[in-house]
């Protein structure tokens, strides 16, 4: 019952309102005045609405567990006969609650034990599989579709993008309404992209910030995995921005791969580190990168490459679909809703993840300068965007559409669990230690 309520509520099916009324009539109607049960039920619905607004299910599942356990206790210990509580302001119990009371009056001890066992099974399922289940059922929410006619190709100045087989993946959206490709496994030939960029002698810069404890915990695995999977056919230079250059790990690099360490100041708050990277990247593009590289990709350090992240990802400006929102409705996107913020958005096309963005050096310079300007405007008003630089990045891509969009394959979280449409993992979120690293 609660699993269904949870699933349907996250999918915003209107019948949840009816379900809420039924549950309230059942669990607020006990033989005695049950303040403990009423408290749990109230808590359940409060957590539900709070969780719905915040986009998290943790408190909601916790309330499910509390409610099931309390109801199991009542059933086993009270003989499970229900009557309307005098503390609930309603005229009478619903027909469904009367049916429940009638069944419980006739229940044998064996039935009660079976009921308790089922409740216990639900609790175990919720505890161990709750988050995976809700993410799995989110897949039933349909993505948008490529607006082109069936078998039609993209009309792009880039011949490689025009050759993409968009219709090999009818289960997902493979292009945007403004004609940019969304890169999914099965829509492109990796060899075609590699040969094209080798002939053009394309060189790529990768920037990553490893400040404070993030360097010790994440940087080495990030670099080692990048050497295995990131643009392996092309010349790449890693630009490591850190406050402790002497602790940057030594990693064996392949031919045509280089590493440069740039010292930056640490900040008191991790939010400031996240936001100030935009200015740092823009300045370094101006002073150095534009003279050596055609393309640049900017990464968060707390990630690990696990599959090909190749030249098919290169474009003038490149955004990444956030793994937690690519199948969500636009009203669930966590845009900044504060009208006072420079990042303010009412609606948008997608929700982009700031863990990865890239493009030509000129494209990335435009992105980072725009975001920095928005951050500074907010600082003058003594406000911060909801998700800091990510909120400003989403504003930029709303006003200036990216020329290429990467699917969540390019930055996946195992917390979400299995998805049929995610055929490969190219980059995975590393385990987060926010309580340690952000103190």
Catalytic site includes residue 390: yes
Annotated binding residue 211: yes
Q: By C-alpha distance, which of 206, 262, 261, 209 is closest to 232?
A: 206
Residues written for the chain: 439
CA-atom Rg of the chain in angstroms: 26
Annotated binding residue 210: yes
- Answer yes or no: are the C-beta atoms of 225 and 193 closer than 8 Å: no
Annotated binding residue 378: no
Which tokens belong to 212? 């404070």
SS3 289: helix
CA distance 330 to 72: 38
Annotated binding residue 434: no
Annotated binding residue 288: no
CA distances from 338 to 6, 29, 307, 378, 387 (A): 29, 42, 38, 11, 12
CA distances from 73 to 78, 213, 281, 345, 391 (A): 8, 46, 59, 47, 46
Degrees, nearest 5: CA angle 363-367-368: 120
The single residue listed with the structure tokens 């949870």 is: 6
Cβ neighbours of 83 (radius 10 Å): 13
Annotated binding residue 301: yes
H helix or E strand, kind and range, residue 221: helix 220-229
The answer to whether the Cα torsion of 230, 231, 232, 238 is positive or negative is negative
- Answer yes or no: are the C-beta atoms of 296 and 361 closer than 8 Å: yes
Catalytic residue among 312, 369, 390, 409: 390
CA distances from 331 to 2, 115, 135, 327 (A): 24, 39, 17, 12
SS3 266: coil
Degrees, nearest 5: CA angle 311-315-316: 150
Burial of 396 (0-12, 13-18, 19+ CB in 10 A): buried
CA distances from 365 to 202, 317, 368, 374, 401 (A): 18, 10, 5, 14, 15
CA distance 175 to 143: 11
Binding-site residue ranges for UDP-N-acetyl-alpha-D-galactosamine = 209-211, 214, 300-302
Residues annotated within the binding site for Mn(2+) are 300, 302
Would you list which residues are annotated within the binding site?
209-211, 214, 300-302, 322, 334, 390
- Positions marked active-site: 390
């Amino acid at each position: 019952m609660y699993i269904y309520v949870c699933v349907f509520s996250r999918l915003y099916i209107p019948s949840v309102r009816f379900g809420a009324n039924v549950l309230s009539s059942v669990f607020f109607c006990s033989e005695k005045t049950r303040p403990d049960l009423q408290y749990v039920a109230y808590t359940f619905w409060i957590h539900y609405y709070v969780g719905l607004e915040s986009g998290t299910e943790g408190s909601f599942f916790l309330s499910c567990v509390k409610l099931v356990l309390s109801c199991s206790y009542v059933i086993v210990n009270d003989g499970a006969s229900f009557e309307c509580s005098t503390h609930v302001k309603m005229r009478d119990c619903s027909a469904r609650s009367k049916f429940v009371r009638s069944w419980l009056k006739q229940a044998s001890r064996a039935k009660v034990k079976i009921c308790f066992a089922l409740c216990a099974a639900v609790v175990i399922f919720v505890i161990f599989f709750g988050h995976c289940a809700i993410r799995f059922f989110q897949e039933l929410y349909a993505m948008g579709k490529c607006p082109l006619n069936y078998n039609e190709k993209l009309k792009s100045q880039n011949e490689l993008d025009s050759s993409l087989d968009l219709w090999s993946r009818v289960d997902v959206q493979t292009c945007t309404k403004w004609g940019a490709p969304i890169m999914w496994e099965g829509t492109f030939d990796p060899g075609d992209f590699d040969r094209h960029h080798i002939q053009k002698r394309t060189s790529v810069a990768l920037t990553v910030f490893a400040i404070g404890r993030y360097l010790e915990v994440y940087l080495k695995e990030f670099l080692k995995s990048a050497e295995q999977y990131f643009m392996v056919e092309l010349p790449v230079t890693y630009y490591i921005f850190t406050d402790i250059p002497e602790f940057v790990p030594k990693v064996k690099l392949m031919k045509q791969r280089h590493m440069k360490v740039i010292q930056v100041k640490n900040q008191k708050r991790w939010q400031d580190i996240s936001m100030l990277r935009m200015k740092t990247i823009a300045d370094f593009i101006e002073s150095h990168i534009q003279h050596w590289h055609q393309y640049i990709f900017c990464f968060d350090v707390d990630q690990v490459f696990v599959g090909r992240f190749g030249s098919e990802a290169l474009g003038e400006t490149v955004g990444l679909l956030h793994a937690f929102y690519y199948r969500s409705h636009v009203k669930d996107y966590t845009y900044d809703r504060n009208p006072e913020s420079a990042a303010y958005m009412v609606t948008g096309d997608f929700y982009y993840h700031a863990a990865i963005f890239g493009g030509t050096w000129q494209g990335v310079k435009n992105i980072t300068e725009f975001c920095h300007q928005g951050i500074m405007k907010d600082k003058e008003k003594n406000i911060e965007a909801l998700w800091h630089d990510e909120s400003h990045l989403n504003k930029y891509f709303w006003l200036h559409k990216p020329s290429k969009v990467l699917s969540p394959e390019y930055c996946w979280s195992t917390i979400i669990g299995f998805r049929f449409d995610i055929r490969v993992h190219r980059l995975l979120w590393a385990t987060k230690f926010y309580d340690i690293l952000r103190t």
